[in-house]
């Protein structure tokens, strides 16, 4: 695909891509960044874009995925900050220090058990517990149905409880 063909086909669609990104991200700067990321990706793969029959649909699918990646990465960063804030509390007396150390050890055990959960179960559980996402939001982000999200969440909780109980019995 030549530069002229790229400009003729893809550049006129940027406004449509921006509207989709803004709808998902709900902020102007994030939407502009997502569209810029999309255009860079499209430019880098311009040699393979000739076979695309519906550029608008393809671009909207890619911009949606870019936006969801941005949401996921910002949610992970927020969750890590929340966990660190809890661990950074510095108590005044030694009894509180012992309590904090026990909590810290328990948190590490839970993190290790979480890491051993199947990928989908872990993601659903993290979104529900750490990110306070609703079932419809989790379904949108994971591509699962709401019923499947509930089942995965239930299974994740059961598996996590079992792993923790197994570790306690060692």
Please state the separation of Cα 69 from the chain's center in Å: 6
Q: What is the pTM of this model?
A: 0.46
Domains of the chain, first to last: 3-70 (1.10.1740), 89-168 (1.10.10.10)
Select from 140, 150, 143 the least CA-distant residue to 23: 140
pLDDT by residue for the chain (170 residues), tens digit each?
A: 788 888 899 899 999 999 999 988 888 988 999 999 999 999 998 888 888 889 999 999 999 999 888 888 777 666 655 555 555 555 555 556 667 677 777 777 778 888 888 888 888 988 888 788 888 889 988 888 989 999 998 998 898 888 888 877 76
> Which sign, positive or negative, has the C-alpha torsion 104, 108, 109, 110?
positive
Q: For residue 71, what are its two tokens?
A: 């949401």
Measured CA to CA, the distance from residue 139 to residue 66 in angstroms comes to: 17
């Amino acid at each position: 695909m030549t530069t002229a063909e790229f400009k003729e086909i893809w550049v006129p669609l940027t406004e449509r891509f921006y509207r989709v990104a803004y709808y998902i991200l709900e902020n102007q700067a994030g939407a502009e960044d997502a569209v810029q990321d999309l255009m860079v990706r499209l430019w880098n793969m311009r040699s393979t874009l000739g076979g695309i029959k519906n550029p608008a649909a393809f671009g909207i699918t890619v911009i949606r995925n870019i936006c969801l990646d941005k949401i996921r990465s910002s949610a992970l960063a927020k969750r890590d900050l929340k966990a660190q804030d809890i661990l950074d509390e510095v108590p005044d007396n030694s009894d509180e220090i012992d309590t904090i150390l026990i909590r810290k050890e328990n948190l590490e055990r839970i993190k290790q058990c979480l890491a051993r959960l199947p990928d989908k179960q872990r993601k659903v559980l993290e979104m529900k517990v750490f990110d306070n996402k609703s079932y419809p939001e989790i379904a949108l982000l994971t591509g699962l149905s709401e019923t499947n999200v509930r089942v995965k969440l239930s299974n994740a909780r059961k598996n996590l409880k079992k792993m923790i109980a197994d570790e306690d019995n060692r």
